[in-house]
A and B are shown apart, each in its own frame.
Chain A
């Protein structure tokens, strides 16, 4: 049985439509008209216990709204949601005991107090037995190397130290499920790697189910086997990273730098993907077209200064899916 399950989950925000100007403001005061914004438009997904899933999408795609519904602080407009057998918004406090949350952009530590006091407060909040608390704390202090700053007030910590503190804070009560929202944002490469190792270890050793929301696809490539892609409130891909790579990754890009601008350069067997200055980008299927043939063709037709070939990485694949997914929606709308 899945530990997290949503069916046709929808969230529509209703807000007062603002009319510009002072008179407009006065008018909205008396006769408000509302506008609706669909943040999540029917999300269905299931996570098994112990999975580590990358939940990705562009800004405003509906990621945070979904997470907020999973944590029980937002009531869905329609659809079902169950987390560890509980409907989160109906039993917010009970659900809160099963989950841990880390926000890269917002700390849940107590600003004025030494780090250790935040942990002690969390022990009281979650009613963690003292021996369990001591064991978990010792483990996290060692893994995250927090010894040096355990007694430092949180406001004096560096971002990297604070993030480590936040991870320990989210996991002290041993939650089954953890939501991570941009946990590596703003960190340097060393700190990023330390956090990634910690996430992998928690998932591996404790079997904690983790949903990772991030814009840093290196996090996802390093940690997740499965990704869920959301755009404009709709899931557009749900499956293995390997599959998405082999499906979309057969396309390579040939970049041709021309000596002079050409209006619409054409190469047989490749598709013009765009031009930037004198450089033209051609996309081609590696199974059908050889790169050297394209290069020869290009130099016969145009005055070529330089060529290079780009291999697809997860980032470019995702970018293409966002753009094409968007284009597809536009077509159906027309």
Chain B
């Protein structure tokens, strides 16, 4: 198969995202602001002794800052193009090209993600002016990177599924908002999942959202010890396989709908 068009799609997506310079700068600015707010908030909360002992204050601030940097990449809705092209009706012209559409959307998403990944560096430098971030040993960092990569894929397919809903409803705003809020709260992006008490804690760990933020972050701060790394990856991979499978099914029936019923 000729991969050239897909490399080009990714490059064009990267260039397209970079044309909105103001947006990029605002994104970094707002991230630094949020890091500052979270540092103040957690410092105040820790002063009241509300937090469990297994995560000291500097660990918590590291957790919150790394989570913020991760969100730069994870909040890119790489496949939002699906629902945009459906709403505009331009999915019909896409189908008139000799390309595989899922690969087209994936490569566009990767291009967008890469641009935002580049932003992590200036954001990190700005954040370091405000907070101290713990640096884990290299092995832990490598495990974190791997878990992050798998989590990225889980998130990608979750978004893909959401966007595929547009094939039936045209509009996905409400459902995406609900999933986004749920995910923000239950993925460990804002509050570490170890803070959830008892049964609630067991439930949130059993949900797929934990695979996105919580697993890599808990590896980073050392709450998941090296002995449990493999088990954690396995759980993440299970969610990945499930969402990728569901995406394939959704895509197949979506395509049938377009082709049988018209755009």
Contact = CB atoms under 8 A, between A and B. Distances in A.
A116 to B, nearest CB: 12
Interface string B83-102: 00000111011011111100
Contacts of B7: 124
A75 B262 CA distance: 9
B263 interface: yes
A71 B96 CA distance: 6
Interface stretch (B8-16, B27-35, B53-61, B198-206): B8-16
Interface string A121-134: 10011110000000
Nearest to A110: B12
Interface centre among B16, B19, B88, B97 (most CB of A within 10 A): B97
B9 A121 contact: yes
A101 B93 contact: yes
A74 B259 contact: yes
Nearest to B89: A106
A120 B8 CA distance: 9
Contact of B97 (A15, A65, A106, A125): A125
B2 A127 contact: yes
Contacts of B9: 121
A92 interface: yes
A93 B92 contact: no
A73 B4 contact: no
Contacts, number: 69
Q: Which of B90, B92, B96, B259 has the most CB of A within 10 A?
A: B96
Interface residues of A, number: 31
A106 B98 contact: no
A256 to B, nearest CB: 48
B2 A73 contact: no
Contact-size category for B? 20 to 34
B177 interface: no
Contacts of B100: 93
B43 to A, nearest CB: 42
Contacts of A93: 98-100
Contacts of B19: 112
Interface in B222-252: none
SS class, residues of chain A in contact with chain B: mixed
A248 interface: no
B258 interface: yes
Contacts of A15: 261
B260 interface: yes
Contacts of A125: 5, 8, 97-99
A68 B92 contact: yes
A224 interface: no
B98 A97 contact: yes
Contacts of B98: 93-94, 96-97, 125-126
Interface in A81-130: 89, 92-94, 96-97, 99, 101, 103, 106, 108, 110, 112-113, 117, 120-121, 124-127
Nearest to B90: A106
B110 to A, nearest CB: 16
B262 A13 contact: yes
29 contacts: A13-B261, A15-B261, A73-B259, A75-B259, A75-B260, A92-B95, A93-B100, A96-B96, A96-B98, A97-B98, A99-B96, A101-B93, A106-B89, A106-B93, A110-B12, A112-B16, A112-B19, A117-B12, A117-B15, A121-B9, A121-B12, A124-B4, A125-B5, A125-B8, A125-B97, A125-B98, A125-B99, A126-B98, A127-B5
Interface of A: 13-15, 65, 68, 71-75, 89, 92-94, 96-97, 99, 101, 103, 106, 108, 110, 112-113, 117, 120-121, 124-127
Given A74-B262, A112-B16, 11 more contacts: A13-B261, A15-B261, A72-B95, A74-B260, A89-B259, A92-B95, A106-B88, A113-B15, A124-B8, A125-B8, A125-B99
